[in-house]
Structure 1
Amino acid sequence: MSTPSGHDPQPPTEPAGGGYGVVPSGSYGIDPSQQPPAQPQPPATPPQYQPAAAPHQPAAPSAQPYQPAGPAAQPPAPQPQYASGYAAAPPPGQTPTGTYAPPGAGYGQPPDGPGEQPPRTGPNPGTTIGWIGFGLAFVVGFIGIVLGAMSVTRSRRAGASIRIGVVAIVVGVLQVLTVIVVVLANLIVQLGGGPTRVNPGDVSQEQTVPVADLVPGMCLDTTSITDADILVVPCAQPHDGEVIAQLTRTGTAYPGDDTLYDDAIDECYGPVSSALPPTANTQNLYVDAFVPTQEEWDAGSRMLSCLLVSDGTMTGSATAGDLVAPIG
């Protein structure tokens, strides 16, 4: 038989003088006549179906067989147990024993609300493919768009961020648009000979003009030059030369025919090369120049005419930007 304290109950001890709880005369120097009569303690009723005591519950001290009689020395009477299977309320200071844990105890905290899921802390399945698409989008736009779309799809299914996938798609689209614009621009230049500009030196019909009166943009038939005159033709007709630029020399002393001509070629090379369209066939194109003679120099002429000439014939104008590659 066991009690809530975990110890066997102590039977009441009958002293020699008779009665329960009466100490013999002379024991411990206490006069029995001065002590109030002790209350007999009924034996504890054994429980019929009492659960075993918890291992962690401290054991209550067993009653001493010989204690001073008196109200203060009497331990509290044990509470009877009932056959219903539930233990009575424990004495103050003791933890109740039973098969159910006290309120608030349990295995972990419940979720914030019904149906709520904890926040996702795992890796984003679309991050890796998104970064790959972002890098390839700068080189191959279509691949970046495809990989970016795959990244967005995987991230949405996982409930993660789709930012890197969207960036890969945007970069891929911009790269594709850039390629399209460049290709179209090249096609326009190749098919149309480049953008057309106004050519102020073009003429509507052939005419013979003094070399000193030439202006940039005039298209020439250099084979027809006689003395100081040259034939100017419309640039839409076949021709073998064009005035590209005019430069002015300084100084008073005439430098000589060869020196002046060599200096003019060096100075005209830059303007003539810059005027050529990118589609022009430069294999038969050359830089030439008209320079003043000594008589013209002494008369005050310092004008140098920079020419674009060809071994064959060409149509259009480098000045206008519609020059067609020379033929022949």
Structure 2
Amino acid sequence: MTTPPSPDDDPAAPEPPPPWALPDTRAPAAEAPAAPPDETSPADDPEPSPTAGERPGRARTNGLAIAALVTGAVGLVLFAIAFAVAALVQIRRRGGGGRGLALGGLGASAAWLAVAAVIAVMFGDSLFSAGEAEADPRQRDGYVLSSTLKVGDCFTAQTHDPADPNVYPSPCASPHNGEVVAKATLPAGPFPGVQRLAAQAAALCKERTPDNVKKIVDDDFDARTELPKRKDWESGKRTVTCTLVYVGEDKSLTAPLSRAVITPRHEAMFEQGECLEKWDESMTPPVVDCDLPHQFQVLATYKLQGKEYPGIKKLEKMASEGCARRAADIWKGDPPPDRVSATFATPTKQQWRLGYRDVYCLITGGNNGPLKRSFVPKK
């Protein structure tokens, strides 16, 4: 599987347009005509009066200042601020009227921003995340906390989010994927902390899980717990709700777990300690007596978790680390001789899509030739 190259700038693409800037092309206000020279000496008429019918000249109101006030009044905050700043700059450079209008536009914008801030505090995410609420089924009517259900109640839950405690109650005879299997109250005492509380709850839920379900939990079910919050714990509510959510290949259940017929996922082909004459991906490798020459011996088998195929490199890293841990547990301080080397076999991408998650940790003689005895104890 290849990773698509990172998208770079296309050299043939046109140059992006320059950042928008408010044009400053308005012609300067026409200057008032110069007054005719005053023929009267200041000594003769110290306080001359204007000629009858003549009006004194007034500074022209800046158009951007008017636009700032109008857009600010109707809530177009970004436009109002841009117009107001441009107007104030022009008035300072060229003179003219409208400074009060520009400031009024800024004041109206500030008022709109204050109102928006108050609404955000009052309503939180409910106002500004409507799109998320529509896409997230947890927000739809009918979803409840799993702790509100009784033992034996069935529900439908999110399979991709194990931490989500919201479920949709469903009749056990209808398609569903989860069931409340147990409820238990933890002993009184100081709040133990989230991590310790989760460990206590997991152990308690495992103990209370019905015996007929325990054997299929690891592969086909997610065991989930809803824990009490600190404030609930301190108020005496210490109940843990244990649920199982089906993640197997049948997609959904149509009966209570006590009566459900669940086909477990395939079992591993080989067990720890079995010796294989060879390894062939296209067929089942034959198992032989370990005293006879053989190419491989099974050190351990285990299943990987996850729904999406992780890719070859990550898959091999996961398998290598998992096999190393199991080799250390099996051999402890007594590893096999140097002529034995470790390897592993992982599912292909196609097998992963079919639900196969088995990893086989193997040992082999490699270039030293076939193995002629067992190096791994059987279970």
TM-score (norm 1): 0.32
TM-score (norm 2): 0.28
Higher helix share: 2
Q: Which has the larger radius of gyration?
A: 1
